[in-house]
């Protein structure tokens, strides 16, 4: 008999593309992923994947089994959804998947109000690097790309406005940029997901970013925030970060990158009391009438708080001729 847990590990491996990524996704060790894959291949009697420098690739038999595993996964998700639909109680677990920065900087920080009002509801808040494959594990998914799943509801929850921030320690050490063209000479922090989202950036902001050579590259929003707070780098952060971190200094370059945050869920989830309560709470948490930094139109950090602002003007940086 083939163990379903082995198939889940196989699914995670192909979905993420590498042993290490699958291990992180499943919360287990990389040796366990390798051992369980070998165990599955032993039971089937054939190689399912080949390992290369760029990750793993499916063999011919692996392709056919992968197609069936996807069907099994979809069926299991549908069974879970129907079970949730039958369970209308306000007790139990609600599973949310969100980008790391949004989950940590905003949702978790404000979660006490929901948990105090709903003591019988447990919350599973999972994070991912934006751009990673979306799974069906979550009851509610927050993402920065519009959903293409026709079976799900996708609604615009908020607009996140990204602008350059530094702190006084950085500015005391390196000084502020001496004009827009000088920004590319400074120490810049970059997030992996920014590169993945760059096609959605305004044209000028995207062009300027391409000219900047990052001193720090990371796939962790919290690591990027800490690097800015430590005075190590300048980085693009959402404007609501200034409301949470008063030490931030807004470097006003007249450059704002608006990114839409989408809330995605299956319509049947509205029938589950605890999920419906979470959906309603999330809408309140990102309500732009109460929190102006989530509006579609840009509101400068100084307009909703005491954020220090340095205005940087001058000639815009230009690409070097090839």
Indicate if the pLDDT at residue 135 is higher than 80.
Answer: no
In terms of C-beta density within 10 A (0-12 exposed, 13-18 middle, 19 or more buried), how is residue 231 classed?
A: middle
Backbone angles phi, psi at 10, to 5 degrees: -60, -45
CA–CA separation, 263 and 49 (whole Å): 34
The average pLDDT across 97-103 equals 93
Torsion angle (degrees, nearest 10) of CA 272, 277, 280, 286:
-120
Cβ atoms of residues 157 and 282 within 8 Å: yes
Residues of the chain with CATH 3.40.190.10: 92-158+260-294, 160-258+298-311
> How confident is residue 97, by pLDDT bands cut at 50, 70 and 90?
very high
Decide which of 21 and 212 is more confident.
21
CATH topology classification for 92-158+260-294? D-Maltodextrin-Binding Protein; domain 2 (3.40.190)
DSSP codes of every residue in 232-287 = S-EEEEETTHHHH-TTEEEEE-S--EEEEEEEEE-GGGGGSHHHHHHHHHHHHHT-
User: Which residues sit opposite 262 in a β-bridge?
Assistant: 143, 156
> How confident is residue 41, by pLDDT bands cut at 50, 70 and 90?
confident
Which of 121-125, 176-180, 204-208, 216-220 has the least mean pLDDT?
A: 204-208
Q: Specify the pLDDT at position 145.
A: 85
pLDDT tens digit string along 222-234? 999 999 999 999 9
Token pair listed for 95: 């599973």
Long-range contacts of 203-206 (CB under 8 A, 24+ apart): 204/255, 204/316, 205/255, 205/256, 205/257
Cβ atoms of residues 14 and 52 within 8 Å: no
Residues of the chain with CATH 1.10.10.10: 4-80
The chain-wide mean pLDDT, for the chain, equals 85
Torsion angle (degrees, nearest 10) of CA 282, 286, 289, 293:
170
Q: Specify the pLDDT at position 30.
A: 86
Kindly report the number of other CB atoms within 10 A of residue 184's CB atom.
14
pLDDT tens digit string along 183-219? 888 999 998 876 656 555 666 666 666 667 889 999 8
CA–CA separation, 50 and 126 (whole Å): 30
Indicate if the pLDDT at residue 320 is higher than 90.
Answer: no
> How confident is residue 134, by pLDDT bands cut at 50, 70 and 90?
low
pLDDT tens digit string along 43-62? 888 888 887 766 788 888 88
Q: Characterize 232-243 residue by residue with b for buried, 16 or more Cβ atoms within 10 angstroms of its Cβ, and e for exposed.
A: bbbbbbbbbbbb
Axis crossing angle, helix 4-16 with helix 60-86, rounded to the nearest 10: 110
Which of 123-137, 146-160, 293-307 has the least mean pLDDT?
A: 123-137
pLDDT tens digit string along 291-309? 999 999 999 999 998 899 9
Decide which of 167 and 145 is more confident.
167
Indicate if the pLDDT at residue 6 is higher than 90.
Answer: no
Indicate if the pLDDT at residue 244 is higher than 90.
Answer: yes
Which of 119-128, 207-216, 246-255, 269-278 has the least mean pLDDT?
A: 207-216
CA–CA separation, 148 and 261 (whole Å): 14
Helix (H, G, I), strand (E, B) or coil at 305: coil
Decide which of 251 and 196 is more confident.
251
CATH topology classification for 160-258+298-311? D-Maltodextrin-Binding Protein; domain 2 (3.40.190)
Cβ atoms of residues 64 and 105 within 8 Å: no
> Where are the strands (E) in 88-178, listed by range?
92-99, 121-128, 140-143, 153-167
Cβ atoms of residues 288 and 280 within 8 Å: no
Q: Specify the pLDDT at position 84.
A: 62
Token pair listed for 29: 């060790």
Q: What angle do CA 87, 103, 31 make, to 5 degrees?
A: 85
Q: Specify the pLDDT at position 271.
A: 84
Q: What percent of the chain has pLDDT over 70?
A: 85
CA–CA separation, 260 and 160 (whole Å): 6
Q: Specify the pLDDT at position 133.
A: 47
In CATH, what number does 4-80 get?
Answer: 1.10.10.10
In terms of C-beta density within 10 A (0-12 exposed, 13-18 middle, 19 or more buried), how is residue 268 classed?
A: middle
pTM of the predicted model, to two decimals? Answer: 0.70
> How confident is residue 322, by pLDDT bands cut at 50, 70 and 90?
very low
Find, among 84, 203, 187, the residue nearest to 136 by Cα. 84
> How confident is residue 287, by pLDDT bands cut at 50, 70 and 90?
very high
């Amino acid at each position: 008999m083939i163990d379903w847990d082995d198939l889940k590990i196989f699914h995670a491996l192909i979905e993420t593309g590498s042993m290490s990524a699958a291990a992180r996704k499943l919360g287990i060790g990389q040796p366990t992923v390798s051992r369980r894959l070998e165990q599955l291949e032993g039971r089937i009697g054939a190689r399912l994947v080949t390992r290369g420098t760029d990750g793993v690739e499916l063999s011919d038999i692996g392709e056919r089994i992968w197609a069936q595993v996807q069907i099994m996964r979809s069926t299991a998700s549908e069974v879970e959804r129907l079970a949730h639909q039958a369970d209308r109680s306000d007790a139990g677990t609600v599973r949310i998947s969100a980008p790391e920065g949004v989950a940590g900087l905003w949702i978790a920080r404000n979660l006490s109000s929901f948990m105090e009002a709903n003591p019988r509801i447990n919350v599973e808040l999972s994070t991912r690097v934006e751009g990673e494959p979306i799974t069906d594990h979550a009851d509610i998914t927050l993402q920065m790309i519009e959903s293409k799943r026709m079976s799900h509801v996708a609604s615009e929850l908020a607009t996140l406005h990204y602008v350059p921030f530094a702190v006084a320690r950085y500015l005391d050490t390196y000084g502020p940029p001496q004009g827009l063209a000088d920004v590319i000479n400074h120490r810049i922090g970059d997030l992996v997901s920014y590169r993945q989202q760059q096609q959605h950036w305004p044209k000028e902001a995207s062009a300027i970013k391409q000219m900047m050579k990052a001193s720090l590259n990371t796939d962790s929003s919290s690591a990027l925030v800490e690097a800015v707070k430590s005075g190590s780098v300048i980085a693009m952060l959402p404007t609501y970060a200034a409301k949470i971190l008063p030490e931030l200094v807004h470097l006003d370059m007249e450059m704002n990158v608006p990114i839409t945050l989408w809330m995605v869920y299956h319509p049947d989830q509205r029938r589950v009391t605890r999920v419906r309560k979470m959906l309603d709470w999330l809408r309140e948490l990102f309500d732009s009438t109460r929190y102006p930094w989530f509006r579609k139109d840009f509101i400068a950090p100084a307009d909703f708080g005491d954020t220090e602002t340095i205005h940087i003007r001058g000639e815009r940086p230009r690409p070097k001729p090839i």
